[in-house]
Structure 1
């Protein structure tokens, strides 16, 4: 009886990962180490509760988390200069909501801090700690993220040599400069770095374009959308560890 492959053959290219080249690992955060949208939804709910007490007119005008998310998305269109800084976009969207409702605009700062604190309360994937320990025990690891999670506030900072975020660096993925900055931080060349992330474009293809090897984390078995394939595709962080620990993987 034929064995069904883990992925359809058309969606997963053959593994061309060369472990012998890897001297460092860069990792995406949101949706790679934890699911992001449950975190954001909860943080928006906490923000709405805070507004109900401190800015009731705003809470009445933006009466659910969907409305808060809509004005956050609107701010993305109004302030393209902040596209690299998701925290600033959220803060300014809160300020706009307060202003539209007639509440004090200065409340945007404490309101954002409430949101931001809850945004750091992520629920890691079950195999995240094990994977981070595995990787950190073999390579220096750097976080490279477009989001505004703080690895130290999340509680995983001890696994990382550094963390580079788009809002601090000034440009987001897929710009190759943020990947090159991560390599430079560790004193290695881009071709000596393996990047792991869930986004086919912002992580995998962008890392390849920056001269790195890339493993695409694809738990829902999406089709690969680009011509240039990743060096490997895995369904989970556990599978990533198996790949890197497999004697059959080129090295």
Structure 2
């Protein structure tokens, strides 16, 4: 893959640095356990499957909150606890129980070392539609800042969130490499905002990677791990140093 100048990197979080599906399962389980102890009527009325279905309905009913997973979850809890007849004062601590588990992530094996290597080369910024808290997760020291869709007011693939990150980094979009797993949110979004893009295409349990699905554009880079991206960046910086 060809080298090009990279002055900063923006990074997606969920399914790029850690897998999100098991995190949400654990968080919903933790929430269910908390409700059984503190709001038993709510727990009885809303088992996990019903809670997930309600969460999906809330998302569909509030398209204006597509960028705000925290508010969607809070509305879901307000409805669950209210309809069950438990005390609405329990909504905030219930969310806290969920969110603590949501921030208890298990990184991909290559992620932590790769992030250390990337951060040693260029500034990193987290750019996520999710609501993970890098300070609680213990990674904030590697990042210049974290910009979430909730804080920005719009979600990827909207160009505005990419451009806001570039402004905060003090870089032109073409100088910034956005890294993520999602074809539309990450690669297409970054491309349309004028950033370089790197598609992290991790193998599935069978060892298979996804074929690139579009004919109109491609990512500038494609790797199966963040470690491979770190290797590329190391080589690119070595080339820049030799040329200088």
State the TM-score, normalized to the length of structure 1: 0.89
The list of structure 1 runs, each at least 4 consecutive aligned residues, that deviate by more than 3 angstroms after superposition, is 246-251
Q: Which residue is equivalent to 1:25?
A: 9
> Which gives a bigger RCO, structure 1 or 2 (Cα 8 Å, sep 6+)?
1
Residue 243 of structure 1: how far off its partner (Å): 2.1
Q: Which residue is equivalent to 2:39?
A: 55
1:182 aligns with 2:170: no
RMSD over aligned Cα, in angstroms? 1.7
Counterpart of 1:168 in 2: which secondary structure? helix
1:231 aligns with 2:231: no
Check whether the contact 1:219–1:235 (CA below 8 A) recurs between aligned residues.
yes
Structure (1/2) with the larger helix percentage? 2
Work out the CA distance in 1 between the residues paired with 2:168 and 2:114. 22
Q: Deviations over 1:13-65 (max 9, x none)?
A: xx4x5432x111000001100011111110100100111111111111112x2
Q: Deviations over 1:50-104 (max 9, x none)?
A: 11111111111112x2222111111101111211110110111111111222222
Q: Which residue is equivalent to 1:204?
A: 187
1:165 aligns with 2:148: yes
Check whether the contact 2:118–2:233 (CA below 8 A) recurs between aligned residues.
no
Work out the CA distance in 2 between the residues paired with 1:242 and 1:250. 12
How many equivalent pairs are there?
Answer: 234
In structure 1, runs of 5+ residues without a counterpart are: 1-14
1:244 aligns with 2:233: yes
Check whether the contact 1:51–1:58 (CA below 8 A) recurs between aligned residues.
yes
State the TM-score, normalized to the length of structure 2: 0.91
Work out the CA distance in 2 between the residues paired with 1:149 and 1:191. 27
Work out the CA distance in 2 between the residues paired with 1:200 and 1:43. 26
